[in-house]
Amino acid sequence: MSDLFVNVGWVDNLVEAKALTKHFGSFEAVRGIDVDVRRGEAFGFLGPNGAGKSSTMRMISCVSGRTGGDLKVLGMDPATQGPQIRARLGVVPQLDNLDTELTVRQNLQIYGRYFGMSRQRCREKAEELLEFAQLSDRADHEVEPLSGGMKRRLTIARSLVNDPELLLLDEPTTGLDPQARHLLWDRLFRLKQDGVTLIITTHYMDEAEQLCDRLVVMDGGRIAAEGSPSALIDKYSTREVLELRFQPGAEKPDLERFAERVEVLPDRLLLYTQDGEHTLAKVHEHGVQPVQSLVRRSSLEDVFLRLTGRTLVD
Ligand SMILES: Nc1ncnc2c1ncn2[C@@H]1O[C@H](COP(=O)(O)OP(=O)(O)OP(=O)(O)O)[C@@H](O)[C@H]1O
């Protein structure tokens, strides 16, 4: 490794957490997790509300101190080197906190000043980021009337003012419609291509599958599993899932013998199988007539159900 890299704090693991813990009084929100985030990857924390994702993100972004374990971000300790770390981070909070008194462009320009950039540099950077966020035609508009997707893109653009190596996004697409989500995902792909390391919390399994190279499944402050989306699905699920819906209140048949595993949910049965159509044919032969049937590919939702016995979004 050259001296240059040593001097600017070059590390391969941008986050290293060992037995990382966060207590609020006697309540343990994060219960001793081990996490490594590698340079250049998109890393996810997937879990339901209350799993401890935001608490973890707040420790990584140096907003909230750990109460136990070790944490290194960009090779530094948030407890003693918060300002140095924050200078190289971008943080996109769960809720947009844009300045509604300012225009779209001014929101970007002002932010640069916080990082000590010259006025000229702030102006140039704002134009570059307006283009990135696909908001150039709205540059002089007020923020308030923008759509939810535009506000999110502006918040992300603002977090990039200091050219961060590591961008933390807390539930980036919650509340957005499908088109706005896809547009935002496309921007995040572009950032990843440009070499920015992404850490994303989400309770959307499709978001985790689309965006993340690796992820941890979190539940109740612990890590239930980690790996790439496809490795997790291979390990914890079958290739396909046959979903059978029955009349509300109807007794559900025992179909254990037709699948590798059966999950009974309030409104449906999930049959885990390598060949959903074949399993459906056998179920029909057995005289079972659901009101609706669907064969689909296994997803991270199935992994979560397998690991915790619950669905991600109840
Ligand atoms: N400041 C706090 N004081 C007390 N308890 C807290 C505090 N912040 C979070 N918690 C609790 O810690 C647990 C984990 O919360 P956290 O926000 O980290 O979960 P999450 O996975 O990010 O969920 P969400 O998607 O709702 O943000 C929850 O039970 C929450 O109520």
The CA–CA distances, whole Å, from 288 to 253, 259, 265, 282, 293 equal 8, 14, 17, 9, 11
Angstrom distance (rounded) from CA 255 to CA 132:
52
Structural domain count of the chain: 2
Show the domain range for 173. 3-233
| In a domain? residue 307 | no
Closest ligand 1 atom to 171 CA:
25
Q: How far apart are CA 272 and CA 301, in angstroms?
A: 13
Whichever domain contains 79, its CATH number is 3.40.50.300
Q: What pTM was computed for the model?
A: 0.89
Q: Does 9 score more than 80 pLDDT?
A: no
| pLDDT tens figures, 212-222 | 999 999 999 99
Boundary-marking domain end, from 208, 233, 258: 233
Where does a domain end: 192, 214, 233?
233
What was the pLDDT predicted at 4? 45
Cα separations (Å) of 256 from 12, 246, 248, 252?
47, 16, 21, 11
Ligand 1 centre distance from Cα of residue 60 (Å): 15
Q: What ipTM was estimated for this complex?
A: 0.94
Q: What is the pLDDT of residues 249-277, one digit of tens each?
A: 788 899 999 999 999 988 899 999 999 99
Do 200 and 292 sit in the same domain of this protein? Answer: no
Residues 279 and 198 in one domain: no
- Does the pLDDT value for residue 2 go beyond 60? no
Distance of CA 294 to the CA centre of its chain: 27
Find the mean pLDDT for residues 180-197. Answer: 93
pLDDT-derived band at 13 (thresholds 50, 70, 90) equals very high
Average pLDDT, the chain: 92
Does residue 101 sit in helix, strand or coil? coil
pLDDT band for position 1 (cuts 50, 70, 90): very low
CATH of the domain at 292: 3.30.70
155 pocket-lining for ligand 1 (C-beta < 6 Å)? no
End-of-domain residue from the set 183, 205, 233: 233
CB of 49 within 6 A of ligand 1: the answer is yes
Average confidence (pLDDT) over 74-103: 94
Residue 7 has pLDDT above 80, yes or no: no
Q: Residue 160: helix, strand or coil by DSSP?
A: coil
Assess whether 125 and 207 both reside in one domain.
yes
Find out whether 197 and 14 touch, Cβ atoms under 8 Å. Answer: yes
- Closest residue CA from atom 16 of ligand 1: 52
